[in-house]
């Protein structure tokens, strides 16, 4: 491939840049706003993806080392900085990044084993975070106190929406946010060399990260400095200027009665719902969860480099000896973790289809053929008791994929991740996505109960715009149109009984065409 990029924003001249890696999209750059007034108090560099600073990122994009030194200079100028990596993610902990920083004379330390509070972070000129969640308020206070933060996403930690949620309180305080789905952008991306972060840099490497949104596009303090041709923000910066302390106000000449204004009660933030935009539908009932799946490998035919990632989101080690991971679409292919397998808090293991990588645990299915169906599948993680503690669905097995497969893409689905995980924790044998698919199919196909919507249409087809004697297939298509036109399907919490909580999944369907009636489907476990 060859790449052409604009040489000057104010002319139509173009300059050829030899491609140093696969470029799967061309970036365009918004006009870079003038830097915020000096002096600066705090600074943030936000990257949508973690692969940029990994060893592979250095290999794919030869100018990565220059980008790293530019970041350091952006944070501390010409002095030598004291930097700490507050993450266990490979994108911030591998050797190339550390060697580049230390070679430039900076102090570089790593680990989550430090107190995460303002006093501790203030000992460092900058902290590098990503993957492992960090208290957002501490980061906000740190930046407002003069600290610098490099943040990356796209790690797969908890899924795309959860990962965005982990950082968006922090980012929103400085006019930015992460999008809730992975953007699919992979390869070397050309950059805007007019920005100091990209001086001497031609390309940087990205691999399926969270896109960045500028919430305050008119502010000179925050901006997306690298945007893909698809409109997805890839890298952004934000700055915080400390407001001068106000001058003391003279005491009033005479006392004034002031009626206190009651402070309104805080409005609780509603929990985000499951959305069609999520690349993966993930459930988790423990701290040990499936966090990422690369289901399309680069190795032709066998896809030996596919991998699934298991993460311990807690702080304590987890003994996963005897735990099993398998594919719903290929139950004969499974891996059981051997005795003595301990997954440390904040760490991850990867299980490759037919490769062994000691740096990520050294686990492999040892399969000569691909395990994960490119079109869609569901991965399942079982503990030693056989309980399904985590699932990850993708492609045709996600919420959006199931609706598309059953031809009801416009059906609104309402459920929170918390409710789904609580239901999974009851120990039923049917996963969330399996239950969702079964529920929709039952509404479309079951006419055995006279109160079901399909049975009501068949009983009086003319009332629903069909000819008398309409077939079941005709009635099903009419019902499908109702689901797509204002239909809402909700997951209901299970009621407690004298014997405990029912493990079955309960879904409620409301259709405008049925004058406010609601219908229920119970999927047994």
Give the CA-trace dihedral at 471, 473, 478, 480, to 10 degrees: 160
Q: Which residue has the higher pLDDT, 259 or 218?
A: 218
- Domain ranges within the chain, ordered by starting residue: 2-240, 273-394, 406-525
Q: Which CATH architecture has domain 273-394?
A: Sandwich (2.60)
Contact between residue 448 and residue 308 where contact means Cβ atoms under 8 Å apart: no
Give the CA-trace dihedral at 351, 357, 363, 364, to 10 degrees: 70
Is the pLDDT at 15 greater than 60, yes or no? no
Q: At what angle do helices 472-484 and 432-445 cross, to 10 degrees?
A: 130
Least confident of 6-15, 333-342, 368-377: 6-15
Average pLDDT for 335-346: 94
Average pLDDT for 302-330: 92
pTM, full prediction: 0.54
- Position 6 scores a pLDDT of 31
- Position 503 scores a pLDDT of 84
Partner residues linked to 399 by β-bridges: none
In this prediction, residue 29 has a pLDDT band, given cuts at 50, 70 and 90, of very low
* Percentage of residues of the chain with pLDDT beyond 70: 87
**Which pair of structure tokens corresponds to residue 112?**
């989550």
Is the pLDDT at 2 greater than 70, yes or no? no
Average pLDDT for 503-509: 93
Is the pLDDT at 18 greater than 60, yes or no? no
Contact between residue 248 and residue 63 where contact means Cβ atoms under 8 Å apart: no
- Position 23 scores a pLDDT of 34
Is the pLDDT at 454 greater than 70, yes or no? yes
Report d(CA 448, CA 462) in Å as an integer. Answer: 20
**Which pair of structure tokens corresponds to residue 197?**
């972060």
Contact between residue 349 and residue 317 where contact means Cβ atoms under 8 Å apart: no
- Position 254 scores a pLDDT of 62
* Percentage of residues of the chain with pLDDT beyond 90: 68
Is the pLDDT at 500 greater than 60, yes or no? no
Report d(CA 53, CA 64) in Å as an integer. Answer: 7
365-422 confidence digits (pLDDT tens): 999 999 999 999 999 999 999 999 999 999 999 999 999 999 999 999 999 988 999 9
Is the pLDDT at 224 greater than 60, yes or no? yes
First to last CA, the chain: 52
């Amino acid at each position: 491939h060859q790449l052409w990029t604009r040489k000057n924003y104010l002319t139509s001249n173009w300059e050829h840049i030899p491609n140093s890696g696969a470029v799967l999209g061309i970036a365009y750059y918004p006009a870079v706003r003038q830097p915020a007034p000096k002096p600066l108090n705090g600074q943030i560099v936000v990257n949508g993806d973690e692969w940029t600073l990994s060893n592979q990122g250095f290999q794919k994009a030869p100018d990565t080392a220059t980008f790293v030194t530019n970041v350091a200079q952006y944070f501390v100028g010409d002095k030598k900085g004291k930097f700490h990596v507050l993450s266990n993610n490979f994108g911030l902990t591998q050797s190339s990044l550390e060697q580049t920083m230390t070679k430039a004379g900076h102090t570089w330390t790593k680990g989550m084993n430090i107190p995460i509070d303002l006093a501790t972070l203030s000992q460092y000129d900058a902290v590098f975070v990503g993957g492992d969640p960090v208290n957002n308020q501490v980061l906000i206070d740190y930046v407002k106190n003069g600290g610098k933060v490099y943040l990356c996403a796209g790690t797969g930690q908890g899924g795309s929406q959860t990962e965005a949620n982990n950082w968006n309180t922090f980012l929103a305080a400085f006019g930015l946010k992460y999008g809730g789905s992975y953007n699919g952008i992979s390869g070397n991306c050309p950059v805007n060399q007019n920005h100091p972060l990209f001086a001497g840099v031609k390309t940087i490497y990205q691999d399926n990260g969270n896109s960045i949104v500028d919430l305050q596009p008119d502010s000179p303090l925050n901006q997306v400095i690298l945007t893909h041709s698809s409109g997805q923000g890839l890298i952004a910066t934000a700055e915080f200027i400390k407001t001068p302390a106000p001058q003391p106000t003279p005491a009033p000449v005479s006392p004034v009665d002031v009626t206190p204004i009651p402070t309104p009660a805080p409005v609780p933030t509603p929990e985000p719902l499951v959305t069609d935009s999520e690349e993966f539908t993930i459930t988790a009932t423990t701290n040990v969860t499936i966090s990422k799946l690369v289901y399309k490998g680069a190795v032709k035919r066998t896809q030996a480099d596919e991998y699934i990632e298991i993460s311990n989101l807690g702080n304590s080690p987890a003994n996963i000896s005897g735990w099993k991971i398998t594919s719903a679409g290929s139950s004969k292919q499974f891996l059981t973790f051997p005795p003595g397998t301990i997954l440390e808090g904040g760490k991850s293991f990867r299980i490759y289809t037919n490769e062994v990588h000691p740096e990520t645990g050294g686990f492999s299915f040892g399969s000569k053929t691909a395990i994960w169906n490119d079109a869609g599948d569901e991965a399942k993680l079982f503990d030693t008791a056989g309980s399904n503690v985590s699932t990850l669905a993708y492609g045709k097995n996600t919420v959006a994929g199931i609706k598309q497969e059953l031809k009801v893409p416009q059906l609104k689905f309402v459920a929170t991740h918390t409710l789904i995980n609580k239901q999974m924790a009851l120990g039923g044998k049917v996963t969330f996505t399996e239950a969702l698919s079964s529920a929709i199919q039952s509404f479309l196909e079951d006419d055995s109960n006279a109160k079901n919507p399909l049975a009501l249409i068949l009983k009086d087809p003319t009332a629903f715009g069909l000819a008398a004697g309409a077939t079941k297939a005709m009635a099903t298509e009419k019902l499908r149109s109702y689901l797509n036109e204002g239909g809402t399907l909700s997951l209901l919490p299970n009621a407690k009984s004298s014997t405990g909580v029912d493990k079955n999944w309960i879904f409620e369907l409301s259709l405008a065409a049925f004058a406010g009636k609601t219908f229920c489907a119970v999927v047994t476990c």
